[in-house]
Amino acid sequence: MAETALRLGAVRAVPAQTFTMGSDDHYPEEAPARRVTVAGFAIEAEPVTNRRFAEFVRETGYRTVAERPLDPAQFPGLPPDRLRPGSMVFHRTGGPVDLRHLEQWWDWVPGAFWRRPFGPGSTVRRLGEHPVVHVAREDALAYAAWAGRGLPTEAEWEAAARGGLEGAVFTWGDAPEPADRPSANYWHGGFPYRPDPGYGGTTPVGAFPRNGYGLADMAGNVWEWTADAYDSAAAERSCCGAPPDPAPPDPAAPDPATQAIPRGVVKGGSFLCADSYCRRYRPAARRPQPIDTGMSHIGFRCVRRPS
């Protein structure tokens, strides 16, 4: 049992409960606040790390979505050199920018994937205990199947994130983060150009205090996939999602953003959530993410349910 936990990640029990899910006080997609019941389950104490994902890849030979060429049928009109594998990578801007245009700090980078998180030439050699990123939902599901686990539902994830604090705004309570007690890896500093020291990227899992269930990084660090589809037909562009042109198309071709790519729910916020821009490092926060798109701030963790 101890060897399995070391290999796959230890889990913590979340008791069966009825809790208030969502919020009427923040972003519209979180409403309405409602009472939801979940059965007891166990969830991994930390997001899946690069080290654990590497073991999965070594054993299975799995290739993530970001390592496969783009499907020409989904991007008609794109020249072959723009169908190369890649992913969305965050980069800091040179100074303050208009925050309405998130394409200023996101780039489609050919050759970026989980093992090359910033593109060709980058490495995860010193990032073994950081959360794996650039995973599409398909990749997260493949890992979960290998591990004999599953992805949490949105309700399970939010119940776990609350750590037993009924209706609290944050994973640690209702008050904002104390100035003398860092509580989560979200953006501190001028967004998106000047993070405070120690912020502006992923951090090792468990670097910040755990919640009441002993779970790390349920606020910030990386957004995490859930098993749920996003309950909207709209292809929304929320605060820190992918820009509409991951690979600039021919002007005569359809905009990839208009293609009917399903959205899944991601939860928890990331290192890019800034109070001045995207205060979504809260349990109630949620965002739609195209299921085929990994990014440099999206990871996951798994659950184990009673058989």
Question: Counting Cβ atoms within 10 Å, is residue 257 exposed (0-12), middle (13-18) or buried (19+)?
Answer: middle
Query: What pLDDT, on a 0 to 100 scale, did the predictor assign at position 4?
Result: 59
Q: Please state, in angstroms and as integers, the Cα–Cα distance from residue 153 to each residue in 164, 234, 304, 305, following that order.
A: 17, 21, 12, 11
Q: How far apart are CA 242 and CA 240, in angstroms?
A: 7
pLDDT in tens, 96-134: 999 989 999 999 999 999 999 999 999 999 999 999 999
How many CA atoms does the CB half-sphere of 201 hold within 13 Å?
A: 11
Amino acid at 287: R
Partner residues linked to 11 by β-bridges: 44
Structure tokens at 86: 């890649």
Query: What pLDDT, on a 0 to 100 scale, did the predictor assign at position 240?
Result: 63
Helical (H) or strand (E) element with 156: helix 154-162
Q: How far apart are CA 220 and CA 218, in angstroms?
A: 7
pLDDT in tens, 231-243: 864 334 456 655 5
Residues 6+ apart with CB under 8 A from 121: none
Going from N- to C-terminal start, the domains of the chain cover 1-307
Q: Is the pTM above the cut of 0.85?
A: yes
* CATH of range 1-307; options 3.30.1330.30, 3.90.1580.10, 3.20.20.10, 1.10.10.60: 3.90.1580.10
> pLDDT truncated to tens, each residue of the chain (307 aa)?
455 556 778 999 999 999 999 999 999 999 999 999 999 999 999 999 999 999 999 999 999 999 998 878 877 877 776 788 999 999 999 999 999 899 999 999 999 999 999 999 999 999 999 999 999 999 999 999 999 999 999 999 999 999 999 999 999 999 999 989 999 999 999 999 999 999 999 999 999 999 999 999 999 999 999 999 998 643 344 566 555 444 333 323 334 443 578 999 999 999 999 999 999 999 999 999 999 999 999 999 999 999 8
Share of the chain above pLDDT 90, in %: 81
pLDDT in tens, 142-177: 999 999 999 999 999 999 999 999 999 999 999 999
Sheet holding 303-304, edge to edge: 11-14, 41-44, 303-304
